Amino acid sequence: MVAAFDEALHGQARVVSVTGEAGVGKSRLLEEWLAALEASGRLASVSVRRAVCSSLGEQPYAVFAAFFREAYGVASADSLEVARAKLASGLAALGGEGEETATIASLLGYVLGVEAADRFRHVEPEQLKRQIFLAMRRLIERRLQQGPLVLTVENLQWADAASAELLQSMLDRLVDQPLMLVVTARSGAVSAACTSRGRMLSSGYTSGMAW
């Protein structure tokens, strides 16, 4: 993890998966690693975004919704207006204007559940998925222009399929970016049907992006 962090800071995206049985210490390892980085000042220029998947089930794109809620300070108790205003100012701070940013804003609002879903009623599901993938990737790319990014996903075995697929697709395209993804997952808990997640978990620590 330590080596992967250094490599990621130098613009070679890295994925680390921490797998093991329940209670073996995956979350603790992640927590201690982040605390050690923080204590040594190495997170000063690094953004960290965290998502924790629950066994109770997740909405589509819940992992990304968690990342962006953290990024823009959107709390679950926020009213729709407050949440929308926070997203708008967060997006403005990332820069970019015009039609693309407006589209990204409404897709992000949709993923976070603060935008009326009927706005996308007329869009074909596959088309909507493509648009969401692109919008999420653009947002991550803009963030990466400001500095390195560490994404953590706890309990990946419970991630929704859309998030798992989007993580995979995004990382495939950001190989030369200062990006690190750390996932934790229980070994043996992944259904063979969940191809994306299965691929992610099968590799353990990967020094490249072919995971």
Ligand X SMILES: Nc1ncnc2c1ncn2[C@@H]1O[C@H](COP(=O)(O)OP(=O)(O)OP(=O)(O)O)[C@@H](O)[C@H]1O
Q: Does residue number 206 form part of the binding site for Mg ion (CB under 5 A)?
A: no
Give the residue with the Cβ less far from ligand X, 28 or 130. Answer: 28
- Residue number with the shortest CB distance to ligand X? 25
Q: Does residue number 35 form part of the binding site for ligand X (CB under 6 A)?
A: no
CA gap 197, 35 in Å, rounded: 27
Q: Which of residues 102-121 bind ligand X (CB under 6 A)?
A: none
Q: Does residue number 22 form part of the binding site for ligand X (CB under 6 A)?
A: yes
Minimum distance, C-beta of residue 27 to Mg ion, in the bound complex (Å): 3
Q: Binder to Mg ion among 20, 24, 27, 128 (CB under 5 A)?
A: 27
Q: Does residue number 47 form part of the binding site for Mg ion (CB under 5 A)?
A: no
Minimum distance, C-beta of residue 56 to ligand X, in the bound complex (Å): 14
Among residues 145, 140, 135, the alpha carbon closest in space to that of 109 is found at 135
Residue 77 contacts residue 178 (beta carbons within 8 Å): no
Q: Does residue number 26 form part of the binding site for ligand X (CB under 6 A)?
A: yes
Sheet of 47-52: strand order equals: 14-20, 179-186, 149-154, 47-52
For 152-183, give one letter per residue: b (16+ CB within 10 A) or e.
bbbbbbbbbebbbbbbbebbeebeebbbbbbb
Residue 43 interaction partner, one of Mg ion, ligand X, none, beta carbon < 5-8 Å per kind: none
Residue 178 contacts residue 207 (beta carbons within 8 Å): no
Residue 186 interaction partner, one of ligand X, Mg ion, none, beta carbon < 5-8 Å per kind: ligand X
Minimum distance, C-beta of residue 28 to ligand X, in the bound complex (Å): 3
Sign of the CA dihedral 102, 107, 110, 114? Answer: negative
Interface ranges with Mg ion (CB under 5 A): 26-27
